[in-house]
């Protein structure tokens, strides 16, 4: 071991002493350094390593984000293309089947609803004479062939025009229009419950224009008010919501009730609040539109579709009730004075169907709005002989949709997306 000499240092490589002022500096060999790094140097080194690690992780996160955005764009673009293909297929629908209901009064059908329950398809219809009809067929049986006059059965007469039919769970509700409006309770399982007819025990209630039935709650649109029955079976609680105008349209979302009136006003009520005063939404409180609201439907939990007597169709954002500008409009519908112009939406909430005063059915994309989807070969281009009073889209099989429409005393079924040549090929096979 060389000795330490004042002013000199030992160079292990040269095996000799050098002055400390020499430009050659001692080299640190291995971890056994004579002068270990200070705390400041260690902190700087740790900070530098941490920064390099963060930069590496940040680069990986950026690359992952870019990849996720690329995949998301691909998925969105794919969904958009698939929707465009579906729009083209539905617009080209050319297959339609018709049947008749053996009406006891030869009156026009004013209401229709169908639902699958216990492996059967239950269908209900009502006419201007007040008769309520039903039809039950097996789930696996061909629907169109059985919806003929021999498949329908008159169940009950409410003495005046059937204004609406609603289904919730195992119960069907039908309402009648007139000074002595009635409510028909028809169970889907007749073995466990009987058919019965009730009335709202209030002389101020008449002219039931429409109804909405969800869960056990029934909402009626009547003269100058909406009537809310919390339990339609027991009629335990009845609430009257004053609108000062006839209610042509109603919709409900949990405890919130929406009404559309003859005066062209959309109001919102909270059934949990004792006060029956509603809030006007999507309109200027200081003015009256005088453009009657004929239909209301809720989509995606936060959008409200409205139709007016002038034929306009628009979508509003329920999260911004004071905004009078719709987020989407559907143009091309025709109406000037008819209050009974039905609309329907498919179960996947992709398409909107509306019947116009010109006795034509039009369809739109709920994603894009704008003008109707048209095709020269489509049956939607042909008008009916009588006004269309009811519409409903049902899913008969997985992914197979059918549009039911009533005109006069006839019932029509559109096989959406199916063309006549396709049906002929299927029959030949």
Asked if the model's pLDDT at residue 28 lies above 50, the reply is: no
Q: Mapping DSSP to helix (H, G, I), strand (E, B) and coil, where does residue 20 land?
A: coil
Most confident segment among 7-16, 17-26, 144-153, 252-261: 252-261
* Cβ pair 227, 181 in contact under 8 A: no
pLDDT band at 64 (very low <50, low <70, confident <90, very high): low
> What are the pLDDT digits (tens) for 80-108?
888 888 888 898 888 888 877 766 667 89
Q: Which residue has the higher pLDDT, 228 or 63?
A: 228
Asked if the model's pLDDT at residue 218 lies above 60, the reply is: yes
Distances (CA, A) of 206 to 186, 327, 399: 21, 35, 41
pLDDT band at 52 (very low <50, low <70, confident <90, very high): low
- Count Cα atoms within 13 angstroms, Cβ side, for 55: 6
- In the chain, the percentage of residues whose pLDDT exceeds 70 is 77
> What are the pLDDT digits (tens) for 354-393?
999 999 999 999 999 999 998 887 888 889 999 999 999 9
* Cβ pair 176, 205 in contact under 8 A: no
Measured distance CA(174)–CA(185) in Å, rounded: 7
pLDDT at 171: 94
Asked if the model's pLDDT at residue 410 lies above 50, the reply is: yes
Asked if the model's pLDDT at residue 56 lies above 90, the reply is: no
Q: Which helix or strand (DSSP H or E) is residue 117 part of?
A: strand 109-117
Q: Which residue has the tokens 């994603």?
A: 367
> What are the pLDDT digits (tens) for 170-213?
999 999 998 889 999 999 987 778 899 998 877 778 899 999 99
* Cβ pair 103, 402 in contact under 8 A: no
Measured distance CA(265)–CA(258) in Å, rounded: 10
**Mean pLDDT, rounded, of the chain:** 83
The pTM of the full predicted model, rounded to 2 decimals, is 0.79
pLDDT band at 13 (very low <50, low <70, confident <90, very high): confident
* Cβ pair 295, 307 in contact under 8 A: yes
Instruction: Report DSSP state, residue 379.
Output: G
Q: Which residue has the tokens 């398409």?
A: 351
DSSP bridge pairs for 33: none
């Amino acid at each position: 071991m060389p000795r330490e000499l004042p002013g000199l240092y030992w160079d292990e490589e040269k095996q000799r002493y050098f002055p400390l002022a020499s430009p050659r500096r001692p080299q640190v060999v291995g971890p056994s350094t004579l002068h270990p790094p200070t705390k400041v140097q260690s902190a700087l080194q740790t900070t530098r390593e941490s920064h390099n690690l963060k930069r590496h992780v940040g680069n990986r996160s950026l690359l992952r984000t870019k990849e996720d955005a690329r995949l998301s764009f691909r998925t969105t673009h794919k969904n958009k293309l698939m929707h465009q293909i579906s729009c083209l297929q539905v617009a080209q629908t050319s297959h339609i089947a018709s049947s008749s209901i053996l009406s006891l009064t030869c009156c026009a059908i004013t209401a229709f609803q169908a639902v699958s329950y216990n492996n059967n398809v239950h269908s209900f219809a009502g006419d201007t004479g007040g008769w309520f009809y039903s039809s039950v067929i097996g789930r696996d049986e061909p629907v169109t062939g059985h919806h003929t006059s021999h498949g329908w059965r008159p169940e009950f007469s409410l003495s005046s025009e059937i204004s609406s039919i609603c289904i919730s769970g195992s119960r069907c509700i039908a309402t009648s229009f007139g000074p002595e409006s009635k409510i028909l309770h028809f169970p889907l399982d007749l073995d466990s419950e009987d058919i019965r007819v009730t009335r709202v025990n209030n002389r101020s209630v008449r002219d039931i224009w429409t109804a909405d039935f969800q869960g056990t709650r029934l909402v009626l649109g009547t003269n100058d008010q909406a009537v809310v029955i919390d339990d339609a079976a027991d009629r335990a609680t009845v609430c009257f919501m004053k609108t000062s105008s006839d209610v042509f349209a109603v919709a409900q979302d949990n405890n919130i009730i929406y009404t559309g009136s003859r005066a062209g006003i959309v109001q919102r009520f909270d059934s949990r609040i004792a006060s029956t005063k509603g809030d006007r939404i999507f309109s200027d409180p200081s003015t009256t539109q005088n453009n009657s609201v004929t239909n209301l439907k809720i989509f995606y939990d936060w959008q409200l579709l409205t139709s007016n007597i002038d034929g306009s169709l628009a979508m509003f954002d329920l999260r911004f009730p004071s905004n009078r500008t719709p987020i989407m409009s559907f143009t091309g519908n025709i109406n000037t004075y008819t209050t009974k112009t039905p609309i329907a939406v498919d179960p996947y909430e992709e398409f909107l169907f509306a019947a116009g005063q010109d006795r034509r059915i039009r369809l739109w994309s709920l994603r894009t709005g704008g003008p109707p989807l048209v095709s020269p070969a489509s049956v939607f281009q042909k008008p009916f002989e009588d006004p269309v009073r009811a519409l409903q889209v049902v899913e008969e099989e997985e992914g197979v949709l059918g549009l039911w429409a009533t005109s006069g005393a006839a019932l029509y079924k559109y096989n959406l997306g199916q063309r006549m040549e396709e049906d002929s090929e299927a029959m030949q096979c």
